[in-house]
Amino acid sequence: MPAYTRRPEWLKLSPFDSATMAAMRKLTRPLKLHTVCESARCPNRQKCFSENTATFMILGDICTRHCSFCAVEGGYPQRPDPGEPENIVVAVAELGLRHVVITSVTRDDLADGGSSHFARTINAIHEYDPDITVEALIPDFGGSLSALETVTDTSLAILNHNVETISRLYPEVRPEADYRRSLELLRQARLLRPGLLTKSGLMLGLGESQEEVTEVMTDLREVGCDFITIGQYLAPSLNHHRVVRYVCPDEFAEYESIGERMGFRCVASGPLIRSSFHAAEMYRLISESGRRGA
């Protein structure tokens, strides 16, 4: 297997428009806000920014973990900005968002993993407008049940936690994380707040087999996961985990069919699918189907 796998023709990305990128930075930088779209070098960031949406990344832009797939910088983060929740509200109002996705770096240096900061941000948004739906893409909080409860004890609409890859690859892809701990977090979230929608996602192309992908999907359904996103891993640089394989669109379509048969309420599977890409549309689809079934 070569060290570098050439990207196929059907996965060519459009060049970024500097004006679109600058317009979002003009909003976020004065407020000292970060987006995971930029920090993680998401391939969809121009499309999202052009549609006046973004996924906000709270608790700074330095992560205490060192996942080999991730472009977010690892190191020693600063103390959380106490004004960040209110600044998020300013950005939400400016963008006119009705569904807000909040994520964060992992903060193993904080006693509660940053869960109270998540709760303050969610509550600040709902104090501004209680009809805005909020989706929180959270880290594992080191397995702390009390930290998880701090987040679920809000008017959160969706709790999202990505397993990212198959269990076998965790030592090389997510060395400071634990596959079973992530599954347990999703299971506990449903127990702490019955009826709470849960979501997870994984990347393909890191060296997993089709059977192992199906096993992850089965594990997620067993803990009651409602939404699943499946996308192609794209290495942020030559220093990150290499792309072992580019998964063809037909295989992504097959996983979507498998997920639907398994009982996921919504499955998004495709090369450029990311955890928060078109998150509002996914939530709206579930809400509308729920109203039709009522």
Residue 6 is given by DSSP the state P
CATH of domain 14-293: 3.20.20.70
* Parallel, antiparallel or unpaired: strands 99-104 and 158-160: unpaired
The answer to whether residues 227 and 190 touch, using CB atoms and an 8 Å cutoff, is no
Report DSSP letters for 58-117, one per residue: ES-SEESS--TT--SEES-PPPP-TTHHHHHHHHHHHHT-SEEEEEE---TTSTTTTHHH
The residue extents of the domains of the chain are 14-293
Measure the CA dihedral 199/174/188/136, to 10°: -40
Q: What is the mean pLDDT of the chain?
A: 91
Q: What is the pLDDT of residues 112-149, one digit of tens each?
A: 999 999 999 999 999 999 999 999 999 999 999 999 99
Task: Label residue 53 by pLDDT band (50, 70, 90).
Answer: confident
Residue 285 near residue 226 (C-beta atoms within 8 A)? no
Q: Report the interhelical angle of 84-95 vs 18-28 (nearest 10°).
A: 130
pLDDT at 294: 42
pLDDT value at residue 36 = 76
**Which tens digits make up the pLDDT trace of 189-210?**
999 999 999 999 999 999 999 9
Residues 69-80 as b/e (b if ≥16 CB within 10 A, e otherwise) read bbbbeeeebeeb
